[in-house]
Amino acid sequence: MANILIVDDEIGIRELLSEILGDEGHDVVLAENAAAARAVRNARRPDLVLLDIWMPDADGITLLKEWSANGQLTMPVVMMSGHGTIDTAVEATRIGAIDYLEKPIALQKLLSAVKRGLARPPASGQPMPLTLAAFTRSVPLRELRRRLQQISENSRVLLLRIGSGSIAELAARSFLAEGGAWLDFTAIVQPVDGKQLQGCQGGVMFVPELTRLTRAQQKNLAFVLDRLDRLNLHLVVATDQSADVLVAEGWDEMLVQRLFEVSLTPPTLADIQDDVPELAAQLLLHLVEAGDVPHRHFSTAALNALRTQSWPGGFADLRAAVKSLALGTLEEEIGLSDVRRVLPAPVDNVHTVSLDQPLREAREAFERLYFEHYLRVEGNNMTRIAERCGLERTHLYRKLKQLGLQVNRRNDDH
């Protein structure tokens, strides 16, 4: 029979539902809160979930949204509540729940809902690609998602100004409406026509780097730009070059002006260093769900090691590292030793201080190197730097200003 997960903070309800469904021949697993439900979902892959809405740590709607954003809503979910409203039921259904049961739950309604859920064909194919919706804890990523949503409602074209450590693809996929088509524009090498674009209606075309496009692809880009409204398409392009540089390289000036009309500079992985552990954990979950890697999870030490790594290739670089770690680790837990084995040690750019100078200048030079090191290692997190250096924060800020070191406040204490 089926493997069913029951998530409810009331022990009496858990036991009652477990007894009923156990008598029906099902294998029942219990979870008292969202944290326990996440662990069971990742380890057991239940065939169906009965999910309470009101729980102490995270409510059922939030957990449902999380599974949906993570590509983990591959099983039917039946919501339960003793204080629900029609709006709540509608929202749960919109997110992906298949049914909604009011407490106290009648036996026949319970069995009917379970029967209908288990009768649904199993989810097939690849889970939806990751978007910013999966990263709910990061303030910079939540803000970026809101900005992207606002822009997408008012413009069909967005230029992402990128540099080393770019998360352009993650941002571009978040520009995509649910269920919309996705096309990497660089895959188009032949002249395009309207018929070729019909299958992309309602989707997003993405150009990872404008400077890589050939003259023929630039003409294709102009062709697509003229038809965005007609085909209900969005175009997201990325570049680390200015408009003047592109024009100097031979791009059509009018095309460049249209591409640069609305632009946004997303944070790099260096800017959101403290969020790298969450990004890595979500990437691993997604790879497991897609069947690309065996079931694995990161140790805390491994995630901390990933946080201090340099990621010049950005999101794609991090994704490749996570996949390599998952495939190259023999145990279920990816540990610190695995990260050290697979990835190069972070480069610590410590230079020697010339001793051929007065003591005061030599001391300042050493202090500058010392604080540059901790600003880099701790991603500008002033609380941790103060703890590592044994200084009060006020004294630390004063010292950095005295040494002429700039602090990126966006990374200071999320």
Give the Cα separation of 170 and 268 in Å (integer).
11
Question: Greater confidence, 388 or 123?
Answer: 388
Structure token pair of residue 36: 């326990």
Q: CA separation (Å) from 4 to 48, 68, 209?
A: 5, 18, 46
pLDDT in tens, 6-53: 999 999 999 999 999 999 999 999 999 999 999 899 888 899 999 999
For residue 178, pLDDT over 80 is answered with: no
Lowest mean pLDDT among 18-27, 154-163, 169-178, 379-388: 379-388
Domain ranges in the chain with CATH number 3.40.50.2300:
3-119
Question: Of 287, 345, 279, 282, whose CA–CA distance to 314 is shortest?
Answer: 279
Instruction: Find tokens 């740590």 and name the residue.
Output: 57
**pLDDT class for 413, splitting at 50, 70, 90?**
very low
Pick the CATH number of 275-342 from 1.10.8.60, 1.10.443.10, 1.10.3720.10, 3.40.50.300: 1.10.8.60
**Greatest C-alpha distance within the chain:** 87
Domain ranges in the chain with CATH number 3.40.50.300:
132-264
pLDDT in tens, 92-126: 888 889 999 999 999 999 999 999 999 987 665 56
Please, are residues 234 and 204 in contact by the beta-carbon 8 Å criterion? yes
Please, are residues 133 and 170 in contact by the beta-carbon 8 Å criterion? no
Give the Cα separation of 99 and 114 in Å (integer).
9
Average of per-residue pLDDT values in the chain: 87
pLDDT value at position 275? 93
CATH tag, 359-411: 1.10.10.60
For residue 180, pLDDT over 90 is answered with: no
Please give the CATH topology (third level) of the domain spanning 3-119: Rossmann fold (3.40.50)
Task: Name residue 187's amino acid.
Answer: A
Domain ranges in the chain with CATH number 1.10.8.60:
275-342
pLDDT value at position 193? 72
Instruction: Find tokens 């003047």 and name the residue.
Output: 244
| Strands 99-102, 48-52: pairing kind | unpaired
Give the Cα separation of 403 and 319 in Å (integer).
37
Domain ranges in the chain with CATH number 1.10.10.60:
359-411
Give the Cα separation of 34 and 72 in Å (integer).
14
Q: How many CB atoms lie within 10 A of CB 365?
A: 16
For residue 70, pLDDT over 70 is answered with: yes
For residue 226, pLDDT over 70 is answered with: yes
Percent of the chain's residues with pLDDT above 90? 52
For residue 143, pLDDT over 60 is answered with: yes
**pLDDT class for 175, splitting at 50, 70, 90?**
confident
Give the Cα separation of 78 and 6 in Å (integer).
10
pLDDT in tens, 263-320: 999 999 999 999 999 999 999 988 988 889 999 999 999 999 999 898 988 999 999 9
For every residue of the chain, which 3-state class applies, written as one string? Answer: CCEEEEECCCHHHHHHHHHHHHHCCCEEEEECCHHHHHHHHHHHCCCEEEEECCCCCCCHHHHHHHHHHCCCCCCCEEEEECCCCHHHHHHHHHHCCCEEEECCCCHHHHHHHHHHHHHCCCCCCCCCCCCHHHCCCCHHHHHHHHHHHHHHCCCCEEEEECCCCCCHHHHHHCCCCCCCCEEEHHHCCCCCCHHHHHHHCCCEEEECCHHHCCHHHHHHHHHHHCCHHHHCCEEEEEECCCHHHHHHCCCCHHHHHHHCCCEECCCCCCCCHHHHHHHHHHHHHHHHHCCCCCCCEECHHHHHHHHCCCCCCHHHHHHHHHHHHHHHCCCCEECHHHHHHHCCCCCCCCCCCCCCCCHHHHHHHHHHHHHHHHHHHCCCCHHHHHHHHCCCHHHHHHHHHHCCCCCCHHHCCC
For residue 412, pLDDT over 60 is answered with: no
Question: Of 202, 257, 208, whose CA–CA distance to 234 is shortest?
Answer: 202
Question: Of 323, 311, 238, 309, whose CA–CA distance to 268 is shortest?
Answer: 311
Please, are residues 375 and 405 in contact by the beta-carbon 8 Å criterion? yes
Q: End-to-end distance of the chain based on CA atoms, in angstroms?
A: 46
Please, are residues 408 and 378 in contact by the beta-carbon 8 Å criterion? no
Q: Domain 132-264 in CATH: superfamily?
A: P-loop containing nucleotide triphosphate hydrolases (3.40.50.300)
Q: How many CB atoms lie within 10 A of CB 235?
A: 22
- State pTM to two decimals: 0.69
**pLDDT class for 410, splitting at 50, 70, 90?**
very low
